Each structure stands twice: as structure tokens, then as C-alpha cells.
A and B are shown apart, each in its own frame.
Chain A
Amino acid sequence: MPKNLVEIKTLKKYFHLGKDVTVKSVDDISFTIRSGETFGLVGESGSGKSTLGKTIVGLHQASGGEIIYNGKKVAELSKEEQRVANKEMQIIFQDPHASLNPRMRVGDIIAEGIDAYKLLKGKQRERRIYELLERVGLLPEHAKRYPHEFSGGQRQRIGIARALAVEPKFIVADEPISALDVSIQAQVVNLMEDLAKTEGLTYLFIAHDLGMVKHISDRIGVMYLGKMMELSDSDDMFQNPLHPYTQALLSAIPKTNPKMAKRERIMLQGDPPSPTDPPSGCRFRTRCPLAMEVCAKVEPSFKEVEPNHWTACHLYDA
């Protein structure tokens, strides 16, 4: 069994929106990310998947629970250890237009981490920038240009080069391909797969495109309104989804084969409830076609129902 690089234990992230309004974006979530794997995180808007990713890399302060990185609790690290951990955990953002400073040259954007950690200077720094540009499929002469001179796919490559600059071990990719055209998405996904191999990276890959998540991930977690609903190997998840929400989510993916398009589909009724006022018991019960009485009263616990296949659903209560 591979070693766990990141362990999340009962992690909570609450946002207080006013006196009595609290959004529990991430509510009591526990799971582990193994060294070298790509862990896919899916969920619809408002499920808390991005908040979870940002909390793990420290862009949000956790409201409770703990994050264990490389065997050590992040909250209890010394200042120097914290610096190293921060360097090793990087993030790639969704919008390649908003996440690059339009007034900085691409070379300086990529070297931001190098400069902040005072890793390299002068000629060496320059050489490292060129090397990173080539690594992500751009050219050394691009270092002198500004972000607006690049297309969306190229900008996402710049974002990836910036994350790679400090030699990270763990990268949270927060919807890295959602803003890109279909033909460019495959380019970026292939690049990320190659880098995982050559640089020995571990990814938390957040997306709502289930097809791409299945393609790139070893294991997948499904979130709904701040809760983890199901977690398993990615093939297992697609062949044998246990939670009614996962089943509906998978059946909602439009099939790119017109012959298969005429199939039975689980149609969910209504919209997801407001995260400020989630339903009692199981949060999915208001849209669940199989909801029982117990679902309104008791919150289902997240447990291992089959080997390496976890879910939070009363249907699987022994």
C-alpha cells in the first residue's frame, strides 16, 4: 500500500455570512491522498469541492479538523517546516485569464515562487524559466511577453509552469480545464499526465466534467453540499456507483454515442438546496429517488461498504 501524502481528518470550513447564517462549505470530511496518485474530486457548484482544495493548500484557514501532510500535522509545523510544506503544495486555478497578473512578464510570473523562496538568481534563474517554459510546451522567447498575448490553453500552461517552478510534490488543480476549448482540454490533460510521471507529482484534480475526471484519476471522491458522498477507485465508481447521487450524476453525463444516447436516465427532481440551510439528516434526501424515513432523521455515516469503496448512505446500513 502506498504511503499517504495528504491525510484529511474531520476537516471543516465554515463561512459566516451574518449573525445567524453559516455556510458549511466543507463539513466534517475525512479522506487520504496517496503518494503519486491523482485523486479526482467532483461535485456540482456549491458542493464545496474548490473550498476543500483551497483549504488543503492553506488558502483558507480550516474551521476545524486537521490536515496531515507527509506524516505531520500542518497546524503544528515549525515556521521553517511550514515554509517547506507551502512550497511543496501548489495550486493551479480555473480561470487562466484572472490568475495571471496582466502587468507582469510571463518569465517573472513563472519565477514568482523562485523569487519568494530565494531559490535561484541571475543566469540560473533565467535558465530555470526557459527550462520550465519548454517543459510545459512553450518557447523560451515567450518569457518576455505579457499574458494577454497568449491563448487560454497557453495561459493555463503558464499557470502550470508557475506551480512547477518551486518543485512541488502535491498540486491542487482547481478546475484547470473548465475554461478551455474541447480540443485544448485534451492537450492540457495530457501535459498534466506527463508531468505527473516525470516530476513524480500527486494531484488533487477538481472538476465537474466527470468524463475527464475519470480519465485522469486513480480514485474519485464525490461531494454534495459540503459532504463526501462516495469515494472509490475511478473504474469502480463508474461501473458500480453505490450512492443514489453518484448514480444520478453519472447517468446525467451526455453520451457521445448517439446509439447509446437513448438509455434510461435517472432524472433528479429540483435543484440542490441552499448551502445556508441544508436538509436535516442526509443532505441529498430532498432530491433522492430512494429516500427513506430514516434519511430525514439521521445523518448517514461515511463508511467502507465494499473493499476500498466508501459511501455515506442509509441504503447500505447493515
Chain B
Amino acid sequence: MEHLLKVDQLKVNFNTYGGEVKAVRDVSFHVDQGEIVAIVGESGSGKSVTVQSIMGLIPSPPGMIKGGSIQFEGKDLLTLSKRQMRKIKGSKIGMIFQDPMTSLNPTMKVGKQIAEALITHRNFSKANAKNKAVEMLKLVGIPNPEARFQQYPHEYSGGMRQRAMIAIALACSPDLLIADEPTTALDVTIQAQVLELMKELQKKMNTAIILITHDLGVVAETAQRVLVMYGGVVVESASVMELFENPRHPYTWGLLQSIPDTDTSEKKRLVPIAGSPPDLFSPPKGCPFAPRCKYAMDICLEEMPTDYDISDGHTAKCWLNDERAPHPETFARLGETENA
């Protein structure tokens, strides 16, 4: 089967006063019809820049797509003109952002913002667009949708604004929805509502979703596959079950160990990842995680690891997976005993 979206060897740089920043370095992944793929990473990992490139949202200058391709439904999005991109954005690919307050237009009624997409992309008449917009508001669980259609964003609560954003993004039934930290600004009880809604809509409309988050809990509950990014590089990629059961990159181990386990009452000390996130101005020559990695070997500082295939659909960019390296499972177990 052909992939819905295939990103291949994507490279994105930013020119700043401090020098050239390599925000995304040779990122490759794919998304199939109807699946939820999560991208996890910390600030500066390049996760947002990756999806902004898909949407053509990288400001240039200072941003520059240095290479690679983004195949979507058989077309390379990077070669399309602005006009052609505009047809795809909003109609075939929808996007929701972290902060619903700054991504909605404060001077425009919410209903009109939903209808706008339908009129532009689907040639709806005004009346039809209104009906469909009310229907969308209802679909995303906003009570009293007729009245809410006429209201401005400031009259909505945070959770409702994010629902409205989802309604806008899904109004044209896109094939792909990109959600950039959609629940980070929300309270947990509201986050649970919004994630539930996204899963429900994904099933109903068979939309593929790229979910960006820094919360491994959100990944475990929502996604089928996951990419872990660090320093502009995809360091590990696997199905969610596989990633949590058999992680093969020390950064993934570190992330899993630095979250407290709420299911036990024994007080374990957290195992943090030492050091600070990488300086993207002068990334290390080898693996971006090597300076913080307690298992780093000489080669890690010298040469970027290749992607090792662990099992079907599971790759890890770490030299420890080489057959000549010390066995990583031993290290993983060591990590566990340190933890106790």
C-alpha cells in the first residue's frame, strides 16, 4: 500500500545571527491512512519544525528547507507553488496548534471561521456552510451549537476553543490532521476530553493524525506508532507497544525513567537525564545525545549512528544496537537496578 504521507531525508536550517541552526536533520517517516502517529521530543528537538515543513509554514528567510522530499498523495509538497499548497492546506491537511487563543481570529465569529474553510475549499454556499459549521460544532461536542456559532473566541473557554480549532481543521474532512501539542495548554480533565474526541473523530472520519507531544502518557493512550526526536534527529521509531516494552535508545530509556510511576506506593528516586538539551548551533559531530548519554562509546562522539532495524517497523539510531557493541539489554537492566 502506498503511504498517505512520506517524508524522506528532510533537512531544515535556520539562519540566525548566531549562525546556522540545523533544526531538522535527515528526518524520514511515513503516515498511513487512518493511523495516529505521535512525535515526542523536548524543546528544540525539531518536532514542530518537521510538521511545519509539511504545512509549508517555515518562514523563509530565516528558514530554509535544505533537502529531502515530502510526498503526500503522490505529490512532493516541497515542489508545489504557493497557490497549489493553498489548495491542500485546510482542505486535505488540517492543522491544530497548541494555543487555541492565538490561533483563532479574535475579531471573527467562531462559526464564520469554520464556514470560511468550507466556502474556500468546498465551494459551499453561505447557507450550506453555516449548516455544516453548526453540524461540526455539534460533532466536536460544543453544547448549544447554534448560539455558539454566533460567538467570538473570547466567549469560549480554553477547552471549547481547542474543540473549535478541531472543528475548523476537520470541516473539509482532510485526509491528514496535524496536531501540534493540542492539549499542552489544557487542564488534565479537559485534556482527557479532547484526546477522546480526537480518537473518536479519527475512527469516524478515518483521518490520519500526526500528534506532537512531549507527554509519553498522551502517546501511550492515543497513538499507534511513535517517533522519538532529539536534536533534530529521529532517534527511535516503533509501534507504541514496542517502544514502551522494548525501547532501544538510551534517550528513550531516559525519558521513560524520568517520569514518576503513579501506580506504586514505593518511593523510588527519579532517574533524570543529566546535562542540558543540545546546543543546535554546534551540534556534536556524532550522535546528538552522546554528550548526555551514560552509555556513550568513542564512536558515538565521532560518527552519527545509522538506523538499526530492531524488528519490523522498529528502528533505533544508536550504536549500542550494533552487533560489535556491548549488548544494550544489559545496559537497560543496569538502568533498572540503578533505579531501584
Contact = CB atoms under 8 A, between A and B. Distances in A.
- With most chain A CB atoms within 10 A of its CB, the pick from B187, B195, B256, B277 is B187
B160 A254 contact: no
Contacts of B257: 186
A168 to B, nearest CB: 24
B260 A261 contact: no
A189 B189 CA distance: 24
A190 interface: yes
A181 B275 CA distance: 12
B262 A253 contact: yes
B190 A271 contact: yes
Nearest to B215: A254
Interface string A258-275: 111100010110111000
Given A44-B190, A235-B265, A254-B191, 8 more contacts: A45-B158, A186-B258, A186-B271, A190-B272, A211-B259, A214-B260, A261-B221, A268-B192
Interface in B156-176: 157-160
20 contacts: A45-B158, A151-B277, A181-B214, A182-B214, A182-B215, A184-B42, A184-B272, A186-B272, A210-B188, A211-B261, A239-B265, A249-B189, A251-B192, A252-B188, A254-B192, A254-B215, A255-B220, A267-B192, A267-B193, A270-B143
Contacts, number: 128
A249 B257 CA distance: 23
Contacts of B221: 254-255, 258, 261
B331 interface: no
A242 B263 CA distance: 17
Closest 10 CB pairs of A and B: A254-B217, A186-B272, A215-B260, A186-B258, A44-B187, A183-B273, A181-B42, A186-B270, A252-B192, A187-B272
B240 interface: yes
A154 interface: yes
A227 B263 CA distance: 27
Contact of A255 (B160, B217, B256, B270): B217
Contacts of B43: 152, 181
Contacts of A214: 260, 262
Interface string B286-321: 000000000000000000000000000000000000
Contact of A153 (B192, B269, B276): B276
Contacts of B258: 182-183, 185-186
B145 to A, nearest CB: 15
A209 to B, nearest CB: 9
A36 to B, nearest CB: 15
Q: Interface size for chain A: under 10, 10 to 19, 20 to 34, or 35 or more residues?
A: 35 or more
Contacts of A186: 257-259, 270-273
Contacts of B195: 254
A151 B257 CA distance: 22
Given A151-B277, A181-B42, A182-B259, A256 B216 contact: yes
A34 interface: no
Contacts of A239: 265
A187 B292 CA distance: 13
B73 interface: no
Given A254-B221, A267-B196, A271-B157, A211 B272 contact: no
Interface string B249-261: 0000011111111
Contacts of B281: none
A256 B244 contact: yes
Contacts of A183: 42, 254-255, 258, 272-273, 277
Contacts of A212: 260
Contacts of A124: none
Contacts of B218: 254
Nearest to A152: B43
A256 B267 CA distance: 18
Contact of A253 (B188, B190, B241, B256): B188
A238 interface: yes
Nearest to B45: A181
A273 B256 CA distance: 35
A257 interface: yes
Contacts of B261: 211, 256
A254 B220 contact: yes
A248 interface: yes
A105 interface: no
Interface string A222-246: 0000000000000100110000000
A97 interface: no
Contacts of A249: 188-189
Contacts of B214: 181-182
A208 interface: yes
Nearest to B259: A256
